[in-house]
Amino acid sequence: MGFAVPITLFLLLGLHSIPDLVTIAAVTFFSWGVADLLGTILQRPRLKDRSPGKALREDWDRRAK
């Protein structure tokens, strides 16, 4: 899966150079990393029964005191 998406995008976009492929692969890897990080944050028990925005505001207020 880690190779299929960048190569598919490379072919569908009609790109021809290796640097383009490397760029697509790097962006895809970075995007999956950010999505995984956000998914991990949102699964934390401290967010139960609270929206992420509300939790961030409460954490910000707690740190400001």
What's the structural domain count of the chain?
A: 1
CA–CA separation, 6 and 25 (whole Å):
5
CA–CA separation, 24 and 7 (whole Å):
8
Q: Which domain holds residue 48?
A: 4-64
The amino acid that residue 26 corresponds to is A
CA–CA separation, 25 and 8 (whole Å):
10
Tens-of-pLDDT digits for all 65 residues of the chain?
678 888 899 999 998 999 999 999 999 999 998 988 888 877 766 666 778 788 888 888 888 87
